[in-house]
């Protein structure tokens, strides 16, 4: 009995020791990754992917690990650590990659390096990531994203104003970065000219500006219904899901009803409004009395003719002067749908001459939550 009890205790201690080496990889948004990683005397090991289920989140895990090491300014080297090469000198197994390139690019470079000379060019193999000079406790804290960061209360997050967000956007567009935040995998925050930015990077920078602190992913959550997305959209950015991101929630029917007050949409416009009630403000402006005529007159005075600014269709050439001008419509494009306020004053620079086809496609894209430039590119 005593021998059996001692054996059970030893087994328990062994399991605890084994489990203590395991690293739990959780994204900044709280999703646990299917990827096996464990502590190592030199740093940590990321196990290979095999089949359809074993370590299926290998790519997401490695990109997350690289981003967190970058954010914590931890020096690291990466070695191939598959069983067939473990007897080879470590220096000969080091994988080369451009440390200044974006994390997704680094991942692709590492895959090419780990498969060099192999018949399999796309295998995701076991890696040893060495972190000289960083103790195991600090390394685990960084890799698992636990640190001492506490979630900020809503009252603090709401101190972020549009001016803080606009300043953050300008910094990112000017080449600045937020090393504490990884590139976005699930969502883009589109500027009014269609440039995609990582929502958490934008909000993290804005939060630093508003509160005067260094921010980390753990300070706030991003996603539909979160303060981060709410404030970004109020500041004029438009959130769109990437592949794998949750789709935009359907709008509240009461919001649709309130937007439709004193407005009679066509059947097609109603389908757009049901996808994005904010587009009502856009449609109302385009129907403003005299606005289209004023824009057409100004356009003809500048260009000597009417044509579609997107597809370059010249309707007079195709349909003659009598009917041709009816093909060109006026589109309100300068102020993003999500940022239109009742007090907005429309100028001629806010307007664009489009053929009926391009105009309808753009309205449909706007209703789906795409930026105008994205909509044009996708045509």
pLDDT category at 329 given cuts 50, 70, 90 is confident
Residue 61 is predicted with a pLDDT of: 94
pLDDT at 65 exceeding the cut of 90 = yes
Dump pLDDT digits (tens) for 139-156.
998 898 876 567 899 999
Residue 127 is predicted with a pLDDT of: 97
Residue 274 is predicted with a pLDDT of: 56
Name residues whose C-beta falls within 8 Å of residue 126's C-beta, 6 or more positions apart in sequence: 45, 46, 47, 48, 80, 81, 82, 83
pLDDT at 208 exceeding the cut of 90 = yes
Question: Over pLDDT 90: what percentage of the chain?
Answer: 34
Q: Give dist(CA 299, CA 317) in Å, integer.
A: 17
Nearest Cα residue to 242 out of 184, 183, 193: 184
Mean pLDDT, the chain, integer: 80
pLDDT at 280 exceeding the cut of 70 = no
Residue 377 is predicted with a pLDDT of: 41
Residue 190 is predicted with a pLDDT of: 83
Residue 201 is predicted with a pLDDT of: 94
pLDDT category at 344 given cuts 50, 70, 90 is very low
pLDDT category at 85 given cuts 50, 70, 90 is very high
Highest mean pLDDT among 200-204, 248-252, 272-276, 336-340 belongs to 200-204
Give the 3-state DSSP-derived string for 53-111, with helices as H, strands as E and coil as C.
CECCCHHHHHHHHHHHHHHCCCCCEEEECCHHHCCCCHHHHECCCCCCCCHHHHHHHHH
Helices (H), 186-252: 199-211, 227-234
Question: Over pLDDT 70: what percentage of the chain?
Answer: 73
- 364 vs 17: which has the higher pLDDT: 364
pLDDT at 7 exceeding the cut of 80 = no
Residue 276 is predicted with a pLDDT of: 59
Dump pLDDT digits (tens) for 214-260.
888 878 988 888 999 999 988 878 888 887 677 777 766 776 666 66
Residue 214 is predicted with a pLDDT of: 85
Helix axes of 279-286 and 356-367: crossing angle, nearest 10 degrees: 150
pLDDT at 77 exceeding the cut of 80 = yes
Residue 315 is predicted with a pLDDT of: 84
Give the 3-state DSSP-derived string for 300-369, with helices as H, strands as E and coil as C.
HHHHCCCCCCCCCCCHHHHHCHHHHHHHEEEEECCCCHHHCCCCCCCCHHHEEEEEHHHHHHHHHHHHCC
Residue 335 is predicted with a pLDDT of: 47
pLDDT at 28 exceeding the cut of 80 = no
pLDDT at 297 exceeding the cut of 80 = yes
Dump pLDDT digits (tens) for 96-133.
999 888 889 999 999 999 999 887 778 899 999 999 99
Range of lowest pLDDT (32-36, 194-198, 282-286, 319-323): 282-286
Q: Give dist(CA 164, CA 168) in Å, integer.
A: 6
pLDDT category at 4 given cuts 50, 70, 90 is low
Residue 245 is predicted with a pLDDT of: 72
């Amino acid at each position: 009995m005593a021998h059996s009890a001692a054996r059970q205790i030893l087994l328990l201690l062994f399991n605890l020791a084994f489990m203590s080496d395991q690293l739990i990889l959780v994204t900044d948004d709280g999703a646990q990754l299917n990827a096996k990683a464990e502590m190592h005397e030199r740093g940590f090991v990321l196990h290979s992917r095999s089949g359809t289920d074993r370590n299926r989140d290998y790519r997401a895990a490695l990109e997350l690990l690289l981003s967190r090491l970058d954010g914590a300014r931890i020096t690291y080297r990466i070695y191939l650590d598959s069983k067939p090469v473990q007897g080879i000198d470590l220096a000969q197994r080091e994988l080369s990659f451009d440390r200044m390139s974006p994390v997704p690019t680094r991942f692709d470079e590492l895959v090419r390096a780990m498969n060099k000379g192999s018949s399999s060019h796309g295998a995701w193999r076991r890696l040893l990531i060495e972190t000289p000079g960083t103790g195991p406790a600090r390394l685990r804290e960084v890799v698992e994203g636990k640190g001492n960061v506490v979630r900020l209360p809503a009252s603090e997050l709401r101190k972020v104003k549009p001016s803080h967000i606009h300043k953050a956007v300008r910094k990112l567009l000017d080449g600045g970065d937020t090393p504490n935040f990884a590139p976005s995998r699930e969502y883009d925050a589109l500027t009014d000219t269609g440039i995609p930015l990582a929502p958490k990077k934008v909000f993290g920078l804005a939060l630093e500006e508003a509160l005067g602190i260094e921010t980390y992913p753990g300070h706030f959550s991003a996603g539909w219904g979160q303060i981060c997305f709410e404030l970004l959209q109020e500041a004029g950015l438009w959130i769109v899901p990437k592949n794998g991101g949750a789709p935009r929630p359907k709008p509240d029917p009461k919001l649709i009803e309130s937007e439709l007050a004193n407005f009679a949409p066509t059947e097609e416009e109603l389908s757009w409004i049901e996808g994005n009630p904010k587009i009502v403000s856009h449609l109302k402006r385009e129907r403003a009395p005299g606005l289209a005529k004023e824009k057409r007159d100004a356009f003809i005075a500048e260009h000597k003719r009417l044509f579609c600014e997107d597809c370059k269709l010249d309707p007079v050439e195709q349909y003659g002067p009598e009917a041709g001008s009816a093909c060109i419509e006026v589109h309100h494009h300068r102020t993003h749908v999500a940022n239109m306020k009742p007090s907005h004053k429309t100028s001629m620079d806010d307007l664009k001459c489009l053929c009926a086809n391009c105009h309808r496609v753009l309205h449909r894209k706007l209703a789906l939550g795409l930026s105008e430039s994205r909509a044009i590119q996708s045509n």
